[in-house]
Amino acid sequence: MEYKRYALYYAPPEDAEWARFCTRWLGWDMTEGQVVAPPEIPPLPLDHAEIIRAPRKYGLHATLKPPFRLADGTTRECLEQACADLCARTAPFDLDGLQLARLGRFIALRIQGSDTAMGALTDTLVRDLDGFRAPPTEEELKRRRGKGLPPAQEANLVQWGYPYVMEEFRFHITLSSSLPRDAIEPVETVLHERLTPLLPQPVPIRDVALVGEAEDGKFHMVRRFGLGG
């Protein structure tokens, strides 16, 4: 399959119970490339399809290197080889844990404890694979700038094509769209009851996933690259 854009993700192991629940919650299995039925949940003040409308097409993930078009003169095969080489020389590590958190009006999983190792991995992916990234278009720059960016984020946008990288990066696994204020707590309560007991401690980080955006706008698993070879 040919893809419009590529990205590097942390993608939880498909066989982990918490990942299976979250995949069903989001309704898109990027490994199988198919829609999946949602889990049984109590009634909520917002239709489940609206709750997960924004994150659904991306699948269950945390973005490490944001989506990018391939630069002229590069190929998917070369990108895959570069990912394999980079990951082979990067040691695996563990996160202390994950916890539910609010990001504005979004609900996500955030790192519990130190994020130093994850920050180092994402910085390396953004920096060392940047030669494969085509420059953003003027339309993309305008959209990213929106109502204006702080100086650090503007500098990232110019240098790396995305504002929220390097020092501005915050690891998160998005589990909802931006929710109406009266829906945030009920959705958070359901996720806390159903998901929190399944979350592992520690969380092993053993690979990085290369994913691609297909013509339908959804992201699909391309290949996993083991850390440390």
What pLDDT does residue 46 have?
94
DSSP string, 95-153: ESEEEEEEETTEEEEEEES--HHHHHHHHHHHHHTGGGBPPPPHHHHHHHHTT---HHH
Give the Cα separation of 7 and 212 in Å (integer).
Answer: 6
Please state, for a pLDDT cut of 90, what percent of the chain lies above it. 98
Could you say which DSSP state residue 208 is in? E
In 10 A of CB 23, how many CB atoms? Answer: 22
What pLDDT does residue 166 have?
97
Reported pTM = 0.95
Q: Indicate the angle between helix axes 151-160 and 138-145, nearest 10 degrees.
A: 160
What is the pLDDT confidence band of residue 2, given thresholds at 50, 70 and 90? confident
Give the Cα separation of 76 and 172 in Å (integer).
Answer: 26
Could you say which DSSP state residue 15 is in? T
Q: Indicate the angle between helix axes 76-88 and 116-128, nearest 10 degrees.
A: 140
All structural domains of the chain: 5-142+173-226 (3.90.1140.10)
Helices (H) and strands (E) in the chain, counts: 8, 11
Q: Which residue has the tokens 């119970």?
A: 17
Burial call 131-151: b when 16+ CB within 10 Å, e when fewer: ebbeebeeeeeeebeeeebee
The 10s digit of each residue's pLDDT in 26-49 is 999 999 999 999 999 999 999 999
Give the Cα separation of 173 and 229 in Å (integer).
Answer: 25
